[in-house]
Structure 1
Amino acid sequence: MLSAFFKSKYHDFNLVKGDCIEILSVLDFQFDMIFADPPYFLSNGGFSVQSGKQVSVNKGDWDRSQGFEKDNDFNRRWLSVCREKLKDNGTIWISGTYHNIFSVAQMLNELNFRILNCITWAKTNPPPNLSCKFFTHSTEFILWARKNKKVPHYYNYELMKRINGGTQMRDVWQMPAIGRWEKTCGKHPTQKPLPLLARIIQASTKENAWILDPFCGSSTTGIAANLLNRRYLGIDQDLEFLKLSKKRRQEIENIAIRMDYHNRICKTSDGDLQQILELHENIPYYGVDLPIK
């Protein structure tokens, strides 16, 4: 049995340290949904802007391209093992930029997923273009695919329509990058905003669903999942990122912070906030648990 780096009191937030391909290969469990933020392969020595200062785009060796064939093989291997750990009616979301998203799409097709959407996340606050020699990069892409072409998937159409003011939600989402309120425990170099993950989770899962993030980083997926009454497993090789994830999960044990974050990602009413308080005080034990000690 695998050993957890961290398990929350009610086992709804789990972290495991290691390579996701190796860990998932021995994990006997299937998930309702997967969100993956894999390496984008964009650490190429360039520069960007962060908080008004020039910074390197390099994230680490894990984000460097190894060449066309090796990058494709990496995407094929992790997607293949994730497919095995997805329920027959489950779906997977994968984020990226042009550096990696075409490879991911190709591997999804090779592995017989059905691609449902390619979401364009248009950032309302992108960093400026320092060179002024091309258009400012302001988007990322998120592929949404289901495991089986013939097995229906879950999509909360009515909720997405209501969030969108009563009209069908389109595949272009205008949302800001992470705000200061999401950095109270520290910051991951590729951290995703909580409202983005909240929308993804609400669109494609029901309450109590199990969600996997094989490249969890600071576990934005897990924080959003727990705030929305879902359960979570995050995997990462970096000890410091896992420590950050643990710290973020412990932060929302504070009911005031938990309610504030829930309100920010869902725009809830006072009645909804009272339900959150009751849930926090009386979290039920869900019978199905991960085979992780």
Structure 2
Amino acid sequence: MKNGKVQSVNKGQWDKLVSDNDAYVFTYEWLFAVREKMADNATLWVSGTHHNIFTLGRILPQLGFKILNVITWEKTNPPPNFSCRFFTHSTEFIIWARKHPKVPHYFDYDLMKRLNNDKQMKDVWRLPAIAKWEKSCGKHPTQKPLALLAQMILASTKKNALILDPFAGSSTKGIAGNILERRFIGIEQETEYLQLSQARYEDLQHEGKKEFFKQHFYRLLNKGNNN
């Protein structure tokens, strides 16, 4: 939606329709490659919609991952459904899995509980979709809100942890990780989005911005998880 008109959403060549078998092979291969680089106690977060989440859920156990949760991200401000032929798409799914079924993983249970008004945090997260101010340096078609990535990072890593994103895009995970004092390696094949990532990182270095974003994270997460 732009200026009151419906816009075509072109996410790039990678998002073009392929056969179910091609999608399965591609997903299997990249998850296999990522798992090879993970520490034994590491965890993985991977998001999707109904188009691919079931494929992910089938492949992860085949590779030896243990699925810990399937998070439902409920967008508090989803785009409207103009066809009026089905329910409005207002959710995305995020699978959280650890590398080995029997190797313990890190989970900051106490922090998640504090962010949820001292109650156990559920697997439904109510957070808004990406805001305009998060696109001030440019746009990526599948960019996620910083607060969503911050919650994943805070839940599953300690300070100075190393985060790998094999599909970095505009490096939202890296920006959130940098603010929260984590290290980051991002892989991206599109020069346009590498330049966008660099611009976002440079913008973050302005005085006071990191602290502003950090406080924004905690306010938004606390508000979202208490609704």
TM above 0.5: yes
Q: Call closer, same or farther: CA 1:222–1:53 in 2, change over 3 Å.
A: same
Query: In structure 2, the residue corresponding to 1:112 is in which secondary structure?
Result: coil
Does the 8 Å contact 1:94/1:142 carry over to 2? Answer: yes
| Aligned partner (choices 162, 166, 169) of residue 118 of structure 2 | 166
For residue 260 of structure 1, report the CA deviation from its aligned partner.
1.5
Of structures 1 and 2, the one scoring higher in RCO (CA 8 A, sep 6+) is 1
Match of 1:93 in 2: 45
Aligned pair count reads: 220
| Aligned partner (choices 185, 188, 198) of residue 150 of structure 2 | 198
Match of 1:62 in 2: 14
Moved more, 139-148 or 179-188: 179-188
Q: Aligned partners of 1:104, 1:51: CA distance in 2, in Å? A: 36
| Aligned partner (choices 163, 174, 177) of residue 225 of structure 1 | 177
For residue 261 of structure 1, report the CA deviation from its aligned partner.
1.3
Q: Aligned partners of 1:205, 1:193: CA distance in 2, in Å? A: 19
1:263 matched to 2:215: yes
What does 1:126-275 align with in structure 2 at a 5 Å threshold? 126-267=78-219
Corresponding letter in the other structure for 1:135: F
TM-score (norm 1): 0.73
Does the 8 Å contact 1:209/1:230 carry over to 2? Answer: yes
Q: Aligned partners of 1:160, 1:52: CA distance in 2, in Å? A: 38
TM-score (norm 2): 0.94
Q: Aligned partners of 2:163, 2:22: CA distance in 1, in Å? A: 28
Unaligned stretches of 5+ residues in structure 2? 221-227
Q: Call closer, same or farther: CA 1:237–1:197 in 2, change over 3 Å.
A: same
Deviations 1:4-43 (A, max 9, x none): xxxxxxxxxxxxxxxxxxxxxxxxxxxxxxxxxxxxxxxx
Q: Which is strand-richer, 1 or 2? A: 1
Match of 1:79 in 2: 31
Corresponding letter in the other structure for 2:199: K
Corresponding letter in the other structure for 1:56: S
Q: Which is helix-richer, 1 or 2? A: 2
Does the 8 Å contact 2:32/2:63 carry over to 1? Answer: yes
RMSD: 1.2
Match of 2:225 in 1: none
Does the 8 Å contact 2:10/2:141 carry over to 1? Answer: no
